[in-house]
Copies of this chain bind each other. A is one copy, B any other.
Amino acid sequence: MTAQAGKKQSAPAGPLDRLSDLLAGDMKSVNAEIIRRMDSPVALIPKLASYLIAAGGKRIRPLMTLASTSIFSGDIKRAHSLAAAVEFIHTATLLHDDVVDESTARRGQDSANLVFGNQASVLVGDFLFSRAFQLMVDDGSLDVLRILSDASAIIAQGEVMQLATANNLSTGMGEYLEVIRAKTAALFAAACEVGPVIAGADAAATRAMAEYGLNLGIAFQIADDALDYAATQDKIGKTPGDDFREGKMTAPIILALMKASPEEMKFWSRTLGEKQQTEQDFNEACRLIKQHDSIAQSLELANDYGNKARLALAEAPDHPMRALLDELIFYTISRES
């Protein structure tokens, strides 16, 4: 019955795979809903949307909506369409992100903006975003609509803030954490909050699940940002060094800057501050980051947020899926690093 068995015979299944297995039937319904609702008489829309959605991705956000609904014994049928809404919002932000970042790769293939153009990526992102709200309206919960419209506004704010801090060497850890809390963690929090909300759980339990999602999301993004200086393209499905080339002020950079010698500071000023990069510069950036132990320090920070996530999760009812969500925290942080 393990859906992932064919793919991963060598390693024991991680918590994400086991969660996917436990929720395989529900995820099938979510995927069917995704395919049904990304359809449109305008052929380019399902073509572009399915190009990105069919390429996989971990589907971690819809899984959290399903798991949080199950843990609180909510109506899992309602969770199917809301999990699809969550994935649509995520997909819309990916499409717009890739346009903003001028990305060339996503999920191990050419990015949608490269294949279909920036124009189509912007507009299909808008379509999926609208579709997400249509799905929520069909469900009929104003609470869910509030959670996900709030999250969407926060995500956009985070993305704009990231844009405003790019190439700015004075960006501190506080600003970085604010950016990732908004651009990444807000949707994790919302995905987790939907479950207890549709289950009619009390405010404290609902808040705890949102806290779990928020802190997991922060930990996830810090680990992701560390990976950009410590992994190969093969492992992360995107081009390593993208963050460096885009001048994104992420944890490894901010930590390395704190310890930079005057000579190193010149390097960072030229490559990030003045955007003057040669092909060798990314390797030098990785070397400096390694030398200052900035990857390990980033992962320690991720760990701190992971611990917060664990504490919050403990307030949810005891459930086999709660145990998997707990395991997921440190699996998320340690993936591929």
Max chain B C-beta neighbours (<10 A), residue from A123, A134, A136: A123
User: What's the minimum C-beta distance from A301 to chain B, rounded to whole angstroms?
Assistant: 23
Rounded to whole Å, the gap between the CB of A10 and the closest CB of chain B is 41
Question: Cβ of A127: which chain B residues have Cβ within 8 Å of it?
Answer: 153, 156-157, 160
* A258 contacts chain B at the CB level, 8 A cutoff: no
In the complex, residue of chain B having the shortest beta-carbon distance to the beta carbon of A101: B119
Closest CB in chain B relative to A239 CB, distance in Å: 18
Contact with B along A166-209 (1 / 0, CB 8 A): 00000000000000000000000000000000000000000000
Q: How many residues of A contact B (CB 8 A)?
A: 41
The verdict on A268 contacting chain B, using a C-beta distance below 8 Å, is no
Contacts of A129 in B (CB 8 A): 126, 129, 152
**Residue A288 interfacial (CB < 8 Å):** no
From A143-151, A218-226, A273-281, A306-314, give the one contacting chain B. A143-151
Q: For the complex formed by this chain, how many copies does it contain in all?
A: 2
Minimum CB–CB distance from A225 to chain B (whole Å) comes to 19
> A11 near B: Cβ within 8 Å?
no
Judge if A45 is at the interface, Cβ distance under 8 Å: yes
A114 at the binding interface (Cβ < 8 Å): no
Determine whether A72 belongs to the interface, using a CB cutoff of 8 Å to chain B: no
For residue A93, which residues in chain B have a CB less than 8 angstroms away from its CB?
126
B122:A134 contact, CB within 8 angstroms = no
Query: Could you list some 25 contacts between A and B, CB below 8 A?
Result: A42-B157, A44-B163, A44-B164, A96-B123, A96-B126, A99-B122, A118-B118, A120-B160, A120-B163, A122-B122, A123-B159, A126-B129, A126-B156, A127-B153, A130-B153, A130-B156, A131-B153, A133-B133, A134-B146, A134-B150, A134-B153, A136-B149, A137-B149, A142-B142, A145-B145
